[in-house]
Structure 1
Amino acid sequence: MIDVVVPIFAGFRQTERCLRTIMTVANQSAFRLILVDDQTPDPKIGLLLSGFEGVSHVQIIHNSDNLGFSRSINIGFHQSKNDVIILNSDTVVTDHWIDYLREAAYSKSSIATATALTNKGTIVSVPEFNRDYELPHTVTPQSFSDLLLRITARKALAAWLPTCVGHCVYIKREAISAVGGFDETLFASGYGEEVDFSQRIKKFGWQNVASLKTFIYHSGSASFKGQKRIQIGQHKKIIDQKYPLNRLSTRLFILLPNPIKRICHELQKELVKDPHAE
């Protein structure tokens, strides 16, 4: 059994689409869905969640206050004794996403986290590496996933990453037990909590990888403004102070050849030949 933890606050249409695809796409792996309602102010989301009450493999947790992303994830961790997938509510999953993430995570015993490739996920972004990309209207998340699978069919299951990325990441229970959850004191609102977690697991000899066969669509934020931008800047400074080598390892990963860059190159060639990707 794998527990999929989805923290939910706002974005009704995105959340509805995310939950619908989780419940309908193909998977062989058994999973439980843990929905953490972080005191959503949107009554439509409340009504949406009420529709999942009583579903056998769905657990709904209603926070008594708005606790923030990291605390909501930790609540999900505490409800689970299994491996956990953290999934943002503004994503769209594709066939066998849980199966492929698990395969990548268990391709080596030293792996702690496996992050899905996505269209908006910095160092796991495809088909434009380290850049946001919006799928054309003629390309669905599933058809893009099918294209990725054709390209990666004979490639390795996973590729090393300097850090996991939080839009969709599989975390082994042993890693959570070893280091605990996210730092909800320094990173209560998110923005850097997954980098901090990734650095802490490295001290126990664990590795972070990307699952090269898993594509998850991420709508993401068009831009970060105001207080969010200030928080991101503050959290980056905290990361730099705590882990001075992190910036260098990430920079080298971006600059040097890596498997994700090669996949991006092949995807771009295929999209030029077949813009519909079907």
Structure 2
Amino acid sequence: MSYQYRDIARQRLTKAKALLAAGDEDSLTYACLEARKCVEALAYDVLAYYLRDVSLKAMKLWQPDKVMKELIQIDPGADQSRILSMQTEPVGSDPPGQWVTIGEDRRLSAQRASKMYHQLGNYIHVPTIRQMEKSEPRDVSTIRKNVEQIVQELDHVVASTVWGVVLVDGITFTCVCETPIRRTQKFLDNGHQPQCGNCGQMFTVEHENGSEDWYFGPVRFNWFCDQCGIEREILQSKAELGLDVSCPACGLHAILGSITSWRVKQDKPDGAKTSPRQSGASPDCAGS
């Protein structure tokens, strides 16, 4: 799927410029709103480059500062501008060619994007009670100056001729839903569990120092049927409240429930319900 966030950013920025040019205070407020949407679109544009690298949690984020913070955990350079150059390789005795600049992928830093976003939001919203108590007049000229500076910075980013450059050297594996997942070795070495950005499936990671092999195991919840004793399991991504997980061998009725973690509630052979067994509380119903 093609995401058109770069085009959205351009459209919002164009509207912000037109509203600033109107010169009145109401138009200034709406210019702040359009500029804020431009910041959002630029953050989502960068997020779209890392779809194989991000968790489902990151896909649900909408605040630009939180989006960039999540991306930096995966690629420390996700919020940094970079110049893309290329050269021809040497052939035989011929030396390599001259470096040719292709363009610059300009990005807002996470810190600057966060400041812009909250600053513009502050101009849009009604003053807080504390601000009203201070009786500080709204300095329109200062606000306009700050917004014009923000718009100028956004214009510099949007005008870049190259974008979407990702230089992450990651480890890729395939989720149970067939979606490719990529994470950097640093991310995995820090003990983080990868999560699929498509279905939300979590994975455990095994790796021996010095080995090039990585093993990714989908997290499952396990329990034993109280009537026939067979072991049951369900993928973490498939677990949902009220799901029927009745035993396929003996037919004992069971449903999946959750308080703070997923649990299984089973009927006794005589039809009465047993006490709930939480996935993290007993050895026969533990996540693996």
Structure number with greater CO (CA < 8 Å, separation at least 6) is 1
| Structure whose CA Rg is larger | 2
Say yes or no: TM over 0.5. no
Q: TM class by shorter-chain length?
A: under 0.3
Give TM-score, length-normalised by structure 1: 0.23
